[in-house]
Amino acid sequence: MGRKPEGNAEKMFKTFGKNVDSFISELNGVKGVSNEEFQSRLDELKKSKDSLGEKFKDFKEENKDKWEDVHTDLERAGQEFKKAVNNLFSSRKS
């Protein structure tokens, strides 16, 4: 079976990871920044990312039944929307 669509939280974590990577690249290119400052800030960002990831995982587990309901409802709404759009365009061709 295929992979489930990516959710907003997953996108947020992916964006956060890209921002951390960008931050690392920028700091590597900047002259005059001490390695200790860089490492300290990087460690802080990693801890924040890990903490947010764990909190989201716990939240998702605690509300698993609600997540499943939302996922099902969104799939159904998407199918209805697709059907409505197809009906709209098929009536225009006639």
Interval 82-91: pLDDT, tens: 999 888 888 7
Domain total in the chain: 2
- The range of the structural domain enclosing residue 75 comes to 64-94
Report the pLDDT value the prediction gives residue 5, as an integer from 0 to 100.
61
Same domain, 68 and 47: no
Q: pTM for the complete prediction?
A: 0.39
2 pLDDT higher than 60: no
Q: How many residues does the chain have?
A: 94
* Cβ proximity of 53 and 13 under 8 Å: yes
Structure tokens at 39: 């490492």
Whether 39 and 54 map to the same domain: the answer is yes
Query: Are 55 and 17 members of one domain?
Result: yes
- 43-52 pLDDT, tens digit each: 998 899 889 9
Same domain flag for 73 and 92: yes
> What token pair was written down for 37?
């400052």
